[in-house]
A and B are shown apart, each in its own frame.
Chain A
Amino acid sequence: GIQVEQSPPDLILQEGANSTLRCNFSDSVNNLQWFHQNPWGQLINLFYIPSGTKQNGRLSATTVATERYSLLYISSSQTTDSGVYFCAVMGGANSKLTFGKGITLSVRP
């Protein structure tokens, strides 16, 4: 199956800093999503982005499908951005969404 690798595994930022989170995948995909898991465990979908670029406020994401990676950008980080960020992909004819192991982000005030 598809392998998903996220980097870096952990990230500590000062409030106001910018960051880039990376997701590499091993095969072509027809579905790629970024999620944020807050400190209370709730998983929230940030982007559905199998290709191209999207922006939502301080967050944006870019997927370069031909090179098999996606980037999540967080600008002017806030303490509420803390949590775990997951990339998940689906490829081929199956309907299985495969998650990376996540990136733990801590934003310090």
Chain B
Amino acid sequence: NAGVTQTPKFQVLKTGQSMTLQCAQDMNHEYMSWYRQDPGMGLRLIHYSVGAGITDQGEVPNGYNVSRSTTEDFPLRLLSAAPSQTSVYFCASSLTSGGALDTQYFGPGTRLTVL
């Protein structure tokens, strides 16, 4: 198993540009989520999905869109990048949400800089 993969590893954008961060998992996990990590803030939940076709907002959803058309993929779209979106983005997955087998597995992260 490759686990949770994210692409790209690094990205530089100009203000106003759009882009998609890719996340995929090959563990047949139902639950997938996106976090951003900023210095001194820990990890904050952006969006999450409890299964294909189902998404919901986390703590900091503004400026981001997600979709979940397959179990494996959960892309995060930045509609119009802003400098405040400069951060490290992590994708995570788990077998279920709230259940006993709920260990979260994280991808390697994407470091995004918006100029």
Contacts and interface: CB of A to CB of B under 8 A. Distances in A.
Given A95-B97, A101-B41, A43 B58 contact: no
B104 A97 contact: yes
A74 B35 CA distance: 27
Nearest to B49: A95
Interface of A: 1, 30-31, 33, 35, 41-45, 48, 86, 88, 90, 95-102
A18 B33 CA distance: 34
Interface of A is mostly: strand
Contacts of A101: 40-42
Contact of A95 (B43, B56, B59, B92): B56
Given A42-B106, A97-B33, A99-B44, 14 more contacts: A1-B59, A31-B97, A31-B98, A33-B103, A44-B106, A45-B103, A45-B106, A90-B98, A95-B48, A96-B45, A96-B58, A98-B59, A100-B42, A102-B42
